Amino acid sequence: MSEAKTAVITGGNVGIGKETARALVAKGYGVFIATRSKERAEAAIADIARTAGPTAKRVEHIALDLADLASVRKAAAEILERCPRLDVLIANAGLITSPRSQTKDGFETTFGVNHLGHFALVGALTDRLMASAPARVVVVASDAHKASRGLDFDDLQRTELRYRGWPAYCDSKLANVLFARELGRRLDDTGVVAHSLHPGFVNSEFAAGGDVAGLTRPLMNLSKRLFAISPQKGALTSVHVATSTEAGEVTGLYWAKSTIATPSKNALADGAAGRLWETSESLIHAADHQR
């Protein structure tokens, strides 16, 4: 795969991630699907291969558990070994959990997986991205970030508040937008651009086990059937941001429907973006020293 442009997609075995992988393969990319389940990744790879045609580049699996920093580091090392160049890194995986749980490193799971795991992965791969420039980091966020009242830096793990899955998810999506904004600022003039995006309300397996804005599971499923778009349509903005000339000429922006969009006021707070970066580094450093 070294002669082709290469993309890594977290959570690329189902839903938006899988359809993003399929679209990138169609555009000539070699794709690595980074996910926990080898079995589900292999099923996705076989399905993509059936539609890709004989001239398509290969799709491969890399084991990654974003809830385990040791796994993140191992996956990053494998990516560096198998990807002489890295053109696109798509932080696509995400979840919502209820009741409250913790990652292997003791972080609240929604924040730990949706933000900290990706933060650590991007950090470990930044040098390879810069060496491959022009390159891109695409962070799949959500308009759910607009429901966040702002990050509480005194309780990012939600240990003191009564835990609810939806507010925790909204905060994690705000963290995604702030992270991409700050990453874009820090990598300005390196040839690596970073963006976040809203894929739309997608009918996928997402939130199969979490509470979503207080909706009951039957009501959530009905809403998906009536109003949600397909995973194929949900992937369009990810593919646009990952490959379009337009998205390669700017950095640190938020996108929706393949167009530059305006995030919430909280997502435009550069002070919060910088503080989140420094806090994330400190949390990961502390977790490493506790092992």
pLDDT in tens, 62-98: 999 999 999 999 999 999 999 999 999 999 999 999 8
163: annotated active-site residue: no
Backbone angles phi and psi of 22, in degrees to 5: -60, -45
Lowest mean pLDDT among 4-18, 48-62, 100-114, 187-201: 48-62
Q: Is the pLDDT of residue 223 over 60?
A: no
Domain membership of residue 251 (yes or no) is yes
Higher pLDDT, 49 or 131: 131
User: Which CATH number fits the domain that encloses residue 197?
Assistant: 3.40.50.720
Percent of the chain with pLDDT over 90: 81
Higher pLDDT, 209 or 76: 76
Higher pLDDT, 288 or 279: 279
What string of H, E and C letters represents the secondary structure of 169-185?
Answer: HHHHHHHHHHHHHHHHH
Q: What is the pLDDT of residue 288?
A: 86
The mean pLDDT value for 229-246 works out to 95
> Which candidate in 29, 163, 169, 254 is catalytic?
169
Q: Which of 33, 29, 41 is nearest to 10 (CA)?
A: 33
pLDDT band at 2, cuts 50/70/90? very low
Lowest mean pLDDT among 105-119, 120-134, 153-167: 153-167
As for how many domains the chain has, the answer is: 1
Domain limits for position 115: 6-290
Domain membership of residue 1 (yes or no) is no
Q: What is the pLDDT of residue 208?
A: 47
In one letter, which amino acid is 166?
Answer: W
Mean confidence (pLDDT) of the chain: 91
